[in-house]
A and B are shown apart, each in its own frame.
Chain A
Amino acid sequence: MSDGHSFHVDRTGILLFASALGETNPIYWDEEAAKATSLGGVIAPPTFAISSAHWNPDYALKGIRRIPASKPRPAAATGGGGGGGGGGMNIARVLHGEQRFEYHEPVRPGMKLTVTTKPGKTWSKEGKKGGTMNFSETITEYRDEKGALVVVATSVGIVTEKAVGS
């Protein structure tokens, strides 16, 4: 289990994520309309938890982002941002194979979630193009400030022997 990082959920983060999906649903941005529903306010779309990658200092695919700053730690502790991790791997050989979410509570603006990851199952099989494919599960738990589970995300990453498209 990693020591975890914070994930501060706000309306702007939800708006950016939902708008990239082409969403028009007011529940993701219109506080007045959302308040009038039984949910009582804006919530995040079902796959939004993946965007905790923004707050993961050790996320492998963060581009030029340098904040939040990474703490010095053993290389083995680097993991995914709740999906398609592969810290230090040649990213041309990493695929996102599967993704599952279990929902306990809707994700809402103002939530300060703590995100922890732990390894799950691992297995291998022979692929057609990329040689041996090594599968590994990463289980990411999102908990609120009381420690209650909000979302559990399970990601299956695949590392291939060579670049798959080649």
Chain B
Amino acid sequence: MTGNPKIKLADAKPGTEHEAKLVDNLTRTQIVQYAAGSGDFNPIHHDETFATKVAGYPSVFAHGMLTMGLTGRMLTDWLGDGVLKSFGVRFVKQVFPGDSLVAKATVKGVQEQGAEGLVEIEIVTSNQRGEPVVQGSATAVLPR
């Protein structure tokens, strides 16, 4: 165990659910901050003319990786720091300025190994209309 877990295996039994609000009314400013933080300057995420006239979207939209990063915050705020062994998502829908996101995690299984266990988690992040924008899974090591 190298991480700093916040909860134990007993708090993450199969069927356990955890939900967190990720962002309310996503701003273009946050999208631009994420571009600078990540290095991804695809104009589709900050140049309204490019996003609408060239690429044909209704407006600029968030990097998928911004939504994944926000979703990761739900995991680390709940499970602790440095405890994830894997984290993967599929980007299913664009996230636009003004959207509000909620992430939900469900424990699907636990593989116990001595004093700790590997928790398997299913993840869905949805927008204010209840439409999934990101779906995925994660595994984390938690102590007994």
Q: Tell me the A residues contacting B by CB distance below 8 Å.
A: 16-23, 25, 27, 37-39, 43, 45-47, 50-54, 56, 59, 61-65, 81, 83-84, 91-92, 95-103, 105-106, 154, 163-166
Interface size class of B (residues with CB under 8 A): 35 or more
A162 to chain B, nearest CB (A): 9
Residues of A within 8 A of B38 (CB): 17, 20, 50-51, 53
Please report whether the interface of chain A is mostly helix, strand, loop or mixed according to DSSP.
loop
Q: Which of A25, A47, A64, A84 has the most CB of B within 10 A?
A: A47
B35 to chain A, nearest CB (A): 8
Of the listed stretches B11-19, B70-78, B106-114, name the one at the interface; the rest are far from the partner chain.
B70-78
Residues of A within 8 A of B55 (CB): 92, 163-166
Residues of B within 8 A of A98 (CB): 88-91
The interface bits of chain B over 1-42 (1 if a CB of A lies within 8 angstroms of the residue's CB, else 0) are: 111100000000000000000010000001001101111111
Residues of B within 8 A of A62 (CB): 39, 41
Q: Which residue of A lies closest to B141 (CB)?
A: A103
Contact partner of A39 (CB less than 8 A), chosen from B4, B33, B41, B73, is: B4
| B66/A20 in contact, CB under 8 A | yes
A-B contact pairs, 27 of them (CB 8 A): A17-B38, A20-B33, A20-B38, A21-B69, A21-B72, A22-B23, A22-B30, A25-B77, A25-B81, A37-B81, A38-B1, A39-B2, A45-B69, A50-B65, A54-B39, A64-B41, A84-B64, A97-B90, A98-B90, A99-B68, A102-B86, A105-B2, A154-B88, A164-B55, A164-B57, A165-B56, A166-B55
